[in-house]
Amino acid sequence: MKQGVMRHRFFICDVFTDTRFGGNQLAVLPDAAGLSDHQMQQITRGFNFAETTFVLPPESGHSRRVRIFTPACEVPFAGHPNVGTAAMLAAHGELGEFGESLQVTFEETAGPVPITIRRRPDGRFWCELAAPEALSLGATVPVPAPKMRHVTGRVQHHELDIAGNLVHWWHTKQKSE
């Protein structure tokens, strides 16, 4: 091995599926200590998945510190990378042994992310997490989609509710006879 070359293990996860290559792909580096921000971004671009996670020792006494990168930038929080990272760490014994369930907390830029990991009877893992804080965007704001009408004959309406949740629904424009 050349002097100065760093080697890091990684795992490719298929999140939200039981079919190989069927879900949201995620790259997880379970021991990313020593990587710079620039190196993390380069590695993420190399995988070219929606997200790549870098697992580091905790800084605030929680289970692990996790950094999430997209090919464009680091993001403070995202759901599927947390689910995939937690399941991968559990499946490979990185969180210690546990019975049917385990509670972990990832330290992220957005804040602590509590995750419950459960082992299913078939051996796979099920994860549930809570966002570090509620998204707050203000009052309801309608977002029209006029171009969709020309493409599909249907109009899609988007609206953000007061809690910041994206609510959408479709209706079909009735043709006059």
Could you read off the pLDDT of 17-42 as tens digits, one per residue? 777 777 788 999 999 999 999 999 99
Q: Which of 51, 97, 108, 133 is catalytic?
A: 51
Q: Would you say residue 62 has pLDDT above 70?
A: yes
Average model confidence (pLDDT) across the chain: 79
Would you give the DSSP letter of residue 53? E
Residue 53 has pLDDT above 80, yes or no: yes
pLDDT in tens, 90-117: 989 999 887 889 999 999 999 999 999 9
Write 61-64 long-range contacts (CB < 8 A, 24+).
62/104, 62/105, 62/106, 62/107, 62/112, 63/95, 63/104, 63/105, 63/106, 64/89, 64/104, 64/106, 64/107
- Residue 169, helix vs strand vs coil: strand
Check pLDDT > 90 for residue 68: yes
51 is catalytic: yes
Burial annotation 85-102 (CB, 10 A radius, 16+ → b, else e) = bbbbbbbeebbeeeeeeb
Domains of the chain: 11-129 (3.10.310.10), 141-172 (no CATH)
